Amino acid sequence: MISGPVICIACSEDGSKIAIGDRNGTLTLSDSSGTVIWEKQIDEGIHGLAIIGNGNKVICGGKDCKLRMFNSLGSVEWEQTIGKSIWSLAVDPNGQFIVIGTGDSISLFTEGGLQVWEYPTNRAMVGIGLSRNGTTIMGCGDEHLYCLDNDGNLCWEKQRSDSLWDVSVDKEGDEIFIGGWDEKIHCLDREGNELWNYQTGGYVRAVEPLHDGGVIAGSHDNHVYHLSNTGELLGKFQADGEITCVCASRQADIVIAGLSNKISGFHINPNARPIEIPIEPTPIENTPPEIQEKTEDNYEPMFGAGMFDEPIPDTTGIIARNEITSNSHNTETEKTTNYNNYYNQTSYSNEGGEYKEFASEVVKGDVKNYLRLGNSAWIEKRLERAAEHYKRATEIDPDEPRAWHNLAICNYHLALKRNPENIRGAVQSAYASLEMAKEKGGTEYNAPDKTLAYFASQLGLDEE
């Protein structure tokens, strides 16, 4: 058990020592049985961590904008002020170079803490990795994947179809592993071309290549996956929570996973053979499914317990107000009938235009359709589309508090999707819409209060 939510972990080559960094800024070094060797309090959350060799040196970085190396006794050997938050960190297999991902760059350091170069990315690098001697250096942020050489030159940059959360590279730089929002473990060649991918049951938060080939990955479906270097499933381990980070000893006999406020260890078989798990094919719908209003009783949350716990959109009915009169019923029914066809055939990528003309003709009662569409998109994990529907709902009926509340929820999760560790930034992106929901809903509408209480707990603040 750890004092705060686990963000990053690292394992020594022989598996005898494990370093853990949590969101509260506590750095812990333990042995393989879980006994604490030493513990240090860093000013803020730790987002990058590595162990050199058999645990003689521990390197960490985090939101306090400092890169530190500790010796085996927990004393600081050196400390470098970076001047910006560190979001990720990795060390090459020989322990000669350290690469860090910051809020807007990738930087390479020597083992002694001297900066070699910095490459600007203009986005937070939430995942970082490098091969032996730093010959291939990878970084990821948002949908973008960067490949640099050991002189800091850009080899290539690719934009993926969805947000990435982690990237790593094998010791020779021949295979690149990525994971993210699309729930898949991807393997790319050194040019960034797809070699294979493996579908998991949740968002892939962490990927780590094994020394002798293959990869382990942690998913939000509460499992650690062990795959071969050709993408075959060699093992699947059940944890009791969403996994945020993984690591393995160089001997590849133990895998450590971080989840919630604890770490769990699993024995793996480095000589395991592929196993078959039947997967039901997903039918492809050629026509859009009929949209039905969801209720809290049958609504499945998008995220489970752990890093992405509540809040979720409010799917209860529209608040009854005197503004919607019985005289509008016939017009509402008629325009609702025509509404769905119009909406599905129209692109709203531009501001105003025909959408503005259409929106001006829709009566306030039709806001229910926008909320239904937003709820449907949310369930399908299309956050951008859900946010668009909820935003339209606020434009059609600015006094409907559920529209503002659900827009706030989408903004919060979209921010986390871009950077899963920037909790404060995600809350800030949602706060204005949440205030509107509270103002429009009054004392009878308590969904914003629950959401605010959750935000307060995430930030470690008093609920008041």
Is the pLDDT score of 150 beyond 80?
Answer: yes
Rounded to an integer, the average pLDDT of 307-315 is 66
Q: Tokens for 378?
A: 């949310």
Band the pLDDT of 464: cuts 50, 70, 90: low
**pLDDT one-digit tens code per residue, 53-75:** 888 899 999 989 999 999 999 99
Instruction: Round to whole Å and give the CA distance between 146 and 120.
Output: 11
pLDDT top residue among 462 and 425: 425
Side-chain half-sphere CA neighbours of 130 within 13 A: 29
CB atoms within 10 A of CB 46: 30
| 8 DSSP β-pair partners | 21
Rounded to an integer, the average pLDDT of 336-348 is 36
Best CA proximity match to 367, nearest among 440, 439, 284: 440
The alpha carbon of 394 is separated from its chain's Cα centroid by a whole number of angstroms, namely 27
pLDDT of residue 63: 87
Cβ(234)–Cβ(226) below 8 Å: yes
Is the pLDDT score of 335 beyond 70?
Answer: no
pLDDT top residue among 344 and 157: 157
User: Tokens 């080939």 identify what position?
Assistant: 213
Domain boundaries, the chain: 6-267, 326-459
pLDDT of residue 360: 46
Rounded to an integer, the average pLDDT of 315-326 is 51
CATH code of the domain made up of 326-459: 1.25.40.10
pLDDT of residue 277: 62
Lowest mean pLDDT among 341-350, 357-366, 392-401: 341-350
pLDDT of residue 251: 75
Instruction: Please state, for a pLDDT cut of 70, what percent of the chain lies above it.
Output: 81
Rounded to an integer, the average pLDDT of 21-43 is 90
Decide if 6-267 and 326-459 have a common fold: no
Rounded to an integer, the average pLDDT of 198-216 is 93
Is the pLDDT score of 177 beyond 70?
Answer: yes
pLDDT of residue 296: 36
Of 37-51, 104-118, 362-376, 378-392, give the range with the top mean pLDDT. Answer: 104-118
Instruction: Please state, for a pLDDT cut of 90, what percent of the chain lies above it.
Output: 52
pLDDT of residue 318: 56
Is the pLDDT score of 341 beyond 60?
Answer: no
Q: What is the CA radius of gyration of the chain?
A: 24
pLDDT top residue among 357 and 381: 381
Band the pLDDT of 358: cuts 50, 70, 90: very low
pLDDT of residue 45: 85
Lowest mean pLDDT among 51-55, 261-265, 359-363, 421-425: 359-363
pLDDT of residue 282: 43
3-state secondary structure labels for all residues of the chain: CCCCCEEEEEECCCCCEEEEEECCCEEEEEECCCCEEEEEECCCCEEEEEEECCCCEEEEEECCCEEEEECCCCCEEEEEECCCCEEEEEECCCCCEEEEEECCEEEEEECCCCEEEEEECCCCCCEEEECHHHCCEEEEECCEEEEECCCCCEEEEEECCCCEEEEEECCCCCEEEEEECCCEEEEEECCCCEEEEEECCCCEEEEEECCCCCEEEEECCCEEEEECCCCCEEEEEECCCCEEEEEECCCCCEEEEEECCEEEEEECCCCCCCCCCCCCCCCCCCCCCCCCCCCCCCCCCCCCCCCCCCCCCCCCCCCCCCCCCHHHHHHHHHHHHHHHHHHHHCCCCCCCHHHHHHHHHCCHHHHHHHHHHHHHHHHCCCHHHHHHHHHHHHHHCCCCHHHHHHHHHHHHHHHHHHCCCCHHHHHHHHHHHHHHHHHHHHHHCCHHHHHHHHHHHHHCCCCC
Q: Tokens for 426?
A: 């995600």
Is the pLDDT score of 365 beyond 70?
Answer: no
Is the pLDDT score of 446 beyond 80?
Answer: yes
**pLDDT one-digit tens code per residue, 417-445:** 888 878 888 999 999 999 999 999 988 89
pLDDT of residue 381: 80
Quote the pTM value.
0.75
pLDDT top residue among 138 and 252: 138
Rounded to an integer, the average pLDDT of 440-461 is 85
pLDDT of residue 313: 87
Tell me which CATH homologous superfamily contains domain 6-267.
Answer: YVTN repeat-like/Quinoprotein amine dehydrogenase (2.130.10.10)
pLDDT of residue 34: 81
Best CA proximity match to 264, nearest among 245, 284, 291: 245
pLDDT of residue 310: 56
